[in-house]
Amino acid sequence: MLSRILVSGVSGPIGAALLPSLNTGGYDVVRLVRGPAKGGEQISWDPSKPIAPDAVSGFDAVIHLAGETIVGRWTAAKKARIHDSRVVGTNNLARALAQAKDKPQVFVCSSAIGYYGNRGDELLSEESAPGSGFLPDVCREWEAATQAAAAAGIRTVHMRTGVVLSPKGGALGKMLTPFKMGVGGKIGDGRQWMSWIDVQDMVGAMHHILKSDLLQGPVNMVAPKPVTNEEFTETLASVLSRPAIFPLPAFVVKLAFGEMGETVLLGSQRVEPTQLVMSGYPFRFSSLRASLESMLRG
């Protein structure tokens, strides 16, 4: 029975949804935070520096969500922050957990479906090869950075997360304003695949991972039915009772957002949640329309 959990990166929409569910689930939660710790419910850390093994000893599970946002123009400095916040921070945490006197049973670490790169219509599972480019390289190194924990016998899971749908931020949060104003539309030709997951299933799947001893390695955190960008935007507009007639041309995306836009907004990843399905996770939202209606009309 897992009872004491250490969580990093709780300020984003995923962490904001996860923490209350852990608290109501009876877990004793301690947060790994940057800056001074406040009380016994927080531990201070600097992801760029080694962590004392004693500081992270005595937890049953560790959920590591921290990382610099990939949103924004990818300057050399931004790329370095994206890389180091994930790879260096994860490596330092994994090494500390591996050396801890009282090691956790499970280490659940964020990754992303960016691992697969731009793959068009190819159907992707956890066994698919990595793509090429900045984001796939970061994801590959990010997952490799957990090696010390895995080698120490800690069950280690890489959550390859898709587009997490939450009304409180993330991709959907940024799309809501233009779509509510009736000026939303597809991005580029709209044929690129979007592999999404409702934030309630994201949280539910994390609880499932904590309890499923056979799950380890990469786990695709996506709903069973990916959609094209055109289908996504049409469904969102329909749920909001608005038109979706203002497309954002590919050249504008590249001009406005550079490499980030080309990789994240125009890239295509058609991903299946093979491990979650095989391990029996019961998705609450398999349908995009049901997810958006629950979120935006509830």
Q: What is the pLDDT of residues 26-80, one digit of tens each?
A: 899 999 998 888 877 999 999 999 999 999 999 999 999 999 999 889 999 999 9
The torsion region of residue 157 among left (phi > 0), alpha (psi -120 to 50) and beta comes to beta
Confidence of residue 1 (pLDDT cuts 50, 70, 90): low
**pLDDT tens string 229-287:** 999 999 999 999 999 889 999 999 999 889 999 999 999 999 999 999 999 999 999 99
Note whether residue 102 is domain-resident.
yes
Note whether residue 79 is domain-resident.
yes
Instruction: Provide the pLDDT for residue 216.
Output: 97
The torsion region of residue 286 among left (phi > 0), alpha (psi -120 to 50) and beta comes to alpha
Confidence of residue 170 (pLDDT cuts 50, 70, 90): confident
Note whether residue 173 is domain-resident.
no
Instruction: Provide the pLDDT for residue 297.
Output: 80
Mean pLDDT within 165-186:
89
The domain tally of the chain equals: 1
Beta carbons of 77 and 68 less than 8 angstroms apart: no
Note whether residue 215 is domain-resident.
yes
Note whether residue 188 is domain-resident.
no
The torsion region of residue 120 among left (phi > 0), alpha (psi -120 to 50) and beta comes to left
Note whether residue 167 is domain-resident.
no
Note whether residue 230 is domain-resident.
no
Note whether residue 92 is domain-resident.
yes
Mean pLDDT within 174-184:
90
Q: Name every residue whose Cβ is closer than 8 Å to that of residue 219 and which is 6 or more positions away in sequence.
A: 126, 157, 158, 159, 160, 205, 209, 273, 275, 276
Average pLDDT, the chain: 94
Q: Residue 140: give its domain's CATH number.
A: 3.40.50.720
Report how far residue 245's alpha carbon sits from residue 242's, in angstroms, rounded to the nearest whole number.
9
Global confidence as pTM: 0.95
Kindly tell me if the per-residue pLDDT of 103 is higher than 80: yes
Instruction: Provide the pLDDT for residue 65.
Output: 95
- Domain of 66? 4-162+197-222+272-278
